[in-house]
Amino acid sequence: MPTIIKHRKVRIVMLEADEAIAGHCGAGDIAIVGDAAGWWTHFVGEGGALDSYDAPFPSREAALWAAKAAAEYGLD
């Protein structure tokens, strides 16, 4: 089950490795997903389009802080 954090009216959805972004996120959400390379921060757009940073973060906490920083500026 995903963990959902609201920051500045933006939903940050922290997913487990077996959870699909499309199944839990909508446009304007930020998804955080871990894999063998690290923790990825994905920005969900209209129709499920994803935009992501070029590299993963080394920890879940670092990815969360980046997501909160992005939420501070708002997502359009």
pLDDT at 76: 53
The one-letter amino acid code at 68 reads K
pLDDT at 4: 96
Q: Residue 22: helix, strand or coil by DSSP?
A: helix
- What is the DSSP-derived secondary structure letter of residue 19? S
User: How many angstroms from the chain centroid is the CA of residue 62?
Assistant: 12
pTM assigned to the model: 0.91
pLDDT in tens, 6-63: 998 999 999 998 899 999 999 999 999 999 999 999 999 999 999 999 999 999 999 9
Q: What phi, psi does 31 have (nearest 5°)? A: -105, 135
Q: Where are the domains of the chain?
A: 3-73
Q: Residue 59: helix, strand or coil by DSSP?
A: coil
User: How many angstroms from the chain centroid is the CA of residue 43?
Assistant: 6
